[in-house]
């Protein structure tokens, strides 16, 4: 069969190629229309899921590290040579356990010297405590004796003054008495003389006897002798009055001087007693201060000696040994919170174990103290250990632009198996959320800085819907507001749809 058009054409190849190309375009267009679904035929079951209400078991997962509750690097308080070491790495020790001994012979010798000085001072103090009261008692006795002497001198002076008054009162009376006696003697003499003269004429006349005349003569002589005696007594009384008074007055002057002297001596004794009381207190206080200083020096040396014995500040495990016997070690802080060795540490001591996990900022509000925690470690993949939250850091840490909080978990089980610096995964067990509206986490998108989901719009095409999210639990995210239960959300976008998150990147 012949085609007239082809017969007429000298070169029919271009026409054939053109027709073939047009046919391919038609076939391609029809194929595209068959493959590309229209808005009314989009398969929502393939690209969307339904937002559902369910009970969520709140579990916050995080990674952590096993760390000691407390760790310190043990160092001596003073420089010295390490003489003995009593523990090895891995040993468990109790609080106060002697771990090491530094060289201490010089400190021991200094302690013996301080002990001797202290004992000597105490002995002097005790001796003074005995001596001073004896001295004070002796000086008090001297004061009492001086007071007695003053009293005696005053008494003797009073006696002499009384005697003087008596003599001064007696002498005039004696003189008056002797004068009266003299007058009486003169009268008797005159009377005896008159009688003798009368009897003398009578005897001459023979009127009386010689015996009678002799009697009268004797009376005259007796009266004359009595007069002479009275004159002598009067003269004696006059002559002895002034010397006696002078003697008594002289004695009074002497006694007055004795009183003044004894009173001055009493004042001196009292002053000496009071002075000794004052100096005794001062001397005792001074020696007591010396004893206190000696005791303080002794206590200082004792502390230095005790410091040469390095002990455990708390019960724990020896995790590192940094120095060997014979090494010279200088002091450093023993309150280090790191386990790294220093050139001046002897040992590292750690107490207990806990886990420090880093929890993302978005999950931190769901945690609380005492919350139950499940723990797994790479070294024990088939075991789950128990713990609880004991501390939540008040300040966040930022690493690689990621904000998180350190949460400390106390171990309830696993203390004997877990080791410091092990990696661990922790699951914080929260309360169940009932009737929580959830969507798959992959359905959450961002657009222009807003968080939302894609929901079917016109012709079932994806449409952005802003939502407020709550907890994010692995593959599920809680929706607080923005959509309702039973509403479908896109978990995958059909070909040709624009990713909302790419818009945010622009």
For the chain, the farthest-separated pair of C-alpha atoms sits apart, in whole angstroms, at 263
Structure confidence by residue, pLDDT tens digits, 167-204: 767 667 666 677 777 778 778 878 887 888 888 777 77
Confidence of residue 499 (pLDDT cuts 50, 70, 90): low
The per-residue pLDDT for 506 is 41
Structure confidence by residue, pLDDT tens digits, 123-162: 988 888 888 888 888 988 989 998 998 899 889 889 888 8
Quote the CA–CA distance of 11 and 9 in Å, as a whole number.
Answer: 6
Answer for the pair 269, 138: CB distance below 8 angstroms, yes or no.
Answer: no
| pLDDT exceeds cutoff 60 at 24 | no
The second-level CATH assignment, the architecture, of 38-57+431-506 is Beta Barrel (2.40)
Percent of the chain with pLDDT over 90: 31
> Kind of pairing, strands 450-456 and 462-466?
antiparallel
- Count how many residues are written for the chain: 506
**Alpha carbon separation from 479 to 92, 276, 453 (Å, rounded):** 52, 96, 10
Tell me the DSSP string of 304-331: HHHHTEEE-SSSEEEEEE---TT-EE--
Answer for the pair 353, 418: CB distance below 8 angstroms, yes or no.
Answer: yes
Give the end-to-end CA distance of the chain in Å, rounded to a whole number.
Answer: 64
The per-residue pLDDT for 451 is 92
Q: Of 81-95, 254-268, 274-288, 430-444, where does the model show the most confidence?
A: 81-95
Percent of the chain with pLDDT over 70: 83
- The answer to whether domain 107-306 has CATH 1.10.287 is yes
Mean pLDDT of 349-373: 91
- Per the confidence metrics, is the pTM higher than 0.85? no
- Two tokens at 309? 């014995």
Mean pLDDT of 338-346: 57
Domain boundaries, the chain: 38-57+431-506, 107-306
């Amino acid at each position: 069969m012949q085609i007239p058009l082809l017969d007429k054409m000298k070169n029919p190849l271009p026409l054939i190629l053109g027709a073939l190309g047009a046919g391919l375009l038609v076939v391609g267009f029809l194929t595209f229309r068959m493959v590309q679904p229209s808005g009314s035929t989009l398969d929502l079951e393939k690209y969307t899921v339904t937002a559902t209400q369910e009970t969520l078991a709140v579990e916050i997962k995080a990674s952590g590290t096993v760390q000691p509750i407390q760790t310190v690097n043990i160092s001596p308080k003073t420089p010295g040579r390490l003489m003995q070491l009593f523990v090895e790495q891995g040993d468990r020790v109790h609080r106060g356990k002697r771990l090491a001994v530094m060289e201490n012979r010089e400190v021991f010798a200094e302690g013996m010297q301080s002990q001797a000085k202290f004992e000597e001072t105490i002995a002097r103090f005790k001796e003074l405590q005995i001596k001073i009261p004896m001295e004070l008692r002796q000086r008090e006795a001297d004061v009492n004796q001086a007071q007695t002497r003053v009293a005696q001198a005053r008494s003797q002076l009073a006696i002499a003054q009384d005697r003087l008054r008596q003599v001064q009162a007696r002498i005039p009376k004696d003189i008056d008495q002797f004068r009266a006696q003299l007058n009486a003697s003169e009268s008797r003499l005159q009377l005896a003389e008159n009688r003798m003269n009368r009897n003398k004429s009578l005897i001459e006349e023979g009127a009386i006897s010689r015996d009678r005349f002799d009697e009268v003569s004797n009376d005259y002589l007796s009266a004359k002798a009595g007069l002479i005696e009275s004159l002598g007594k009067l003269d004696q009384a006059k002559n002895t009055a002034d010397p006696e008074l002078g003697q008594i007055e002289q004695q009074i002057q002497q006694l007055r001087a004795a009183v003044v002297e004894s009173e001055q001596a009493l004042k001196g004794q009292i002053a000496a007693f009071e002075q000794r009381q004052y100096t005794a207190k001062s001397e005792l206080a001074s020696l007591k201060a010396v004893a206190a200083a000696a005791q303080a020096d002794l206590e200082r040396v004792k502390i230095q000696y005790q410091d040469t014995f390095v002990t455990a500040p708390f019960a724990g495990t020896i995790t590192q040994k940094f120095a060997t016997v014979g090494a010279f070690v200088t002091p450093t802080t023993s309150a280090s919170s790191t386990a790294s060795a220093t050139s001046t540490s002897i040992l590292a001591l750690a107490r207990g174990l806990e886990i420090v996990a880093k929890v993302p900022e978005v999950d931190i509000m769901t945690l609380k103290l005492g919350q139950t925690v499940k723990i797994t470690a790479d070294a024990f993949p088939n075991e789950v250990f128990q713990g609880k939250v004991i501390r939540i850091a008040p300040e966040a840490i930022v690493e690689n632009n990621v904000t998180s909080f350190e949460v400390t978990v106390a171990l309830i089980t696993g203390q004997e198996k877990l080791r410091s610096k092990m990696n661990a995964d922790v699951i914080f067990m929260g309360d169940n959320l009932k009737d929580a509206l959830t969507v798959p986490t992959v359905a959450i998108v961002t657009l222009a800085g807003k968080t939302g989901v894609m929901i079917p719009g016109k012709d079932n095409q994806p449409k952005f819907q802003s939502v407020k999210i709550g907890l994010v639990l692995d593959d599920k995210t809680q929706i607080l507001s923005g959509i309702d239960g039973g509403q479908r959300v896109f978990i995958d976008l059909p070909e040709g749809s624009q990713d909302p998150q790419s818009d945010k990147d622009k």
